[in-house]
Amino acid sequence: MNKTILGYVPEESPIYNTHPATRILFLLIVSLFPMFISAPEWNLLLVVLILILMRYSRIDFSILKLYVPVAVSMGSIILLSYTVFAGNHPEFHELARVLGIRIYYERILDAITVYFRILPMIFIMIYFLSTSRERDIIVAMRSLRIPYAVTYLVAMALRAVGMVIEDFSIVRQAEQARGFDPVGKSIFYKMRKFVMYIIPLFALALRRADEFANALIARGYSFTGLLSNPKRADYVLTHYQAHYWDYLISFVLIVMLVALVVMRYGLGMLSLEGSLTEQLLRAWLLN
Amino acid sequence: MSDATMSAEQSAEEVWAVEEGEERSVGVIHIVITALLIGIGAVVGAFGSFTLPLGFGVNFFWPAIAVQNVGSIWFGAWGVIAAALFPIISNGVAGTPVYVSLAYIPANAVQAFLPAWAFRQFKGDPRLRKGRDWAIFLISITLGNIFGAFWGPMVVLKSFGLLTTDSLPLFIWGWFAGNEIAGIVFGVILLKALSGVVIRSRAFVKKWFA
């Protein structure tokens, strides 16, 4: 199993046949797709395609449970933002009035449009984080000729995230060993007690900074050395090779992006007006 | 004289003053501290993003603001760089789209830059010894949070078409309150608890980079 940023993915997952730079390109380009699509059904289709891709990549779907509260929270907030906090608009079709708040058909349609625009972006991010290991991001950055100092900083930062999570777990266990038990307590209690984690985390990080820096200096690293792109032993020893399908995927992604821009702004397609969602909602709420 | 006694006797001016013959230069330690700040910020920020999310990386309670404020006061530009970058990771883990996270960079950078600048400009003591130090801290983080609260919802979320004009105040207040309360509570505790140690460490940045 490969440990990725969000979980574990089998080593034989087909996603690892692609070059890490292709996966970064996928994140950056496909995240743009929903911005050119207003019709919710097309964005929903994009979500379904990403789910299929997740299944194909053998990602454990239980990771999605973590994001259910986020998706529900975002959906609720968008809906509130577009209904309760949307103000008075006599030009819109009023559907109902709840406690003096006017609910408009156009605002509900807008909320659905926005929600279904943001949803694929979340799924793309989950897909990327579920399949990417720290080393993939570093390799991708090196392939893109990003300066050594920047790549090294990102590598250390990603490693630091893992270390802080371990530290967090150690601190939590230490607190529990001393009788601290937040189970069943309110969220405000937990937030207040968060200080018991943040100070040890900082203190550990400060101590570790010295150890880290000393270790690097002992290996001949210097700030100027970091900046001047010297040849150094690479701690990522696996050699990645871009295959023809990497170029093909990259090319297809770029073509799809251009096609979407043309469809949206040249041909007026993928817009909300006349979309299936709009027709269904209009039939349901207005007729 | 022990380091601790020296530190206790250092005035706020002395904390920031570069002594005659003292050479300060950018070193590996600063790269390391930036990386570690990104690590702490990403974990603490993700915690906030999952606790009370308003959506799109805006939270009613975001303890990572303390990492931005305190990190930049102690480590200058390195803290600002970390503050600008770690929300990309923490927001990403919490499901915020990558382009929204990237667009937040100016807000996060300013939230970190203002306290760093204020403490250096007005020679505030990071150990918060006097009322003046408290005022510098509170005013600088408040101004930073005001900027962030306007930039995040008004510039980023509005331009992405994620909010209506009428719902902007909820997000502006959500961002401001979520950052301000956590920033004051955790920022003060961190500064009081750890500044004495940090200003004696070689990672401490008196100017902007060293």
Q: How far apart are the first and last CA of chain B?
A: 25
Q: Both tokens of residue B89?
A: 């990771």
| pTM score, whole prediction | 0.85
**In chain A, which stretches have pLDDT less than 50?**
none
Using only C-alpha atoms, what is the Rg of chain B? 17
Contact B206, B13 (CB under 8 A): no
* Chain A residues 227-286 with a CB less than 8 Å from chain B: none
Give residue A166's pLDDT: 86
- Runs of H (alpha helix) within chain A: 20-30, 40-56, 68-82, 105-131, 134-143, 148-177, 187-192, 195-218, 223-227, 244-261, 276-281
Chain B positions touching A157 (Cβ under 8 A) are 34-35, 38-39, 42, 85-86, 89
A108 to chain B, any CB pair closer than 8 A? The answer is no
* CATH number of the domain encompassing residue B155: 1.10.1760
Contact B114, B68 (CB under 8 A): no
- What is the distance between the alpha carbons of residues B140 and B128, in angstroms, rounded to a whole number? 14
Give residue B92's pLDDT: 85
B102 to chain A, any CB pair closer than 8 A? The answer is no
Residue A3 DSSP SS3: strand
Give residue B191's pLDDT: 94
Contact A147, A67 (CB under 8 A): no
* Chain B residues 59-78 with a CB less than 8 Å from chain A: 61, 63, 66, 70
Give residue B1's pLDDT: 44
The total of other beta-carbon atoms located within 10 Å of residue A233's CB is: 6
Chain B positions touching A161 (Cβ under 8 A) are 38-39, 42-43, 89
What lies within 8 Å, CB to CB, of B59 at 6+ separation is B48, B49, B51, B52, B53, B174, B178
User: What pLDDT, in 10s, does the model give residues B77-91?
Assistant: 999 999 999 999 888
Give residue A45's pLDDT: 96
Give residue B54's pLDDT: 66
Q: Which residues pair with B55 in a beta bridge?
A: B58
Residue B132 lies in a domain: yes
CB contact under 8 Å between B28 and A223, yes or no, is yes
CA distance A1 to chain B (A): 20
Full domain range(s) for residue B144: 25-198
CB contact under 8 Å between A209 and B160, yes or no, is no
Residue whose token pair is 């395609």: A49
- What is the distance between the alpha carbons of residues B77 and A5, in angstroms, rounded to a whole number? 27
Residue whose token pair is 């509005």: B158
Q: How many domains does chain B have?
A: 1
Delimit the domains of chain A by residue range.
Answer: 2-134+267-285
Give the type of residue at A10. P
What lies within 8 Å, CB to CB, of B118 at 6+ separation is B124, B136, B137, B139, B140
* Residue A22, CA distances (Å) to A137, B1, B88, B159 in order: 11, 58, 20, 28
**In chain B, which stretches have pLDDT less than 50?**
1-2, 4-5, 7
Residue B44 lies in a domain: yes
Helix or strand holding residue A104 (H, E): strand A101-104
Residue whose token pair is 């979340």: A122
What is the secondary structure of B68-111 as a DSSP string?
Answer: HHHHHHHHHHHHHHHHHHHHHHHHHHTT--HHHHHHTHHHHHHH
Contact B153, B42 (CB under 8 A): no
Residue B150 lies in a domain: yes
Give residue A222's pLDDT: 75
Give residue B53's pLDDT: 67
ipTM of the complex in this document: 0.83
Residue B117 lies in a domain: yes
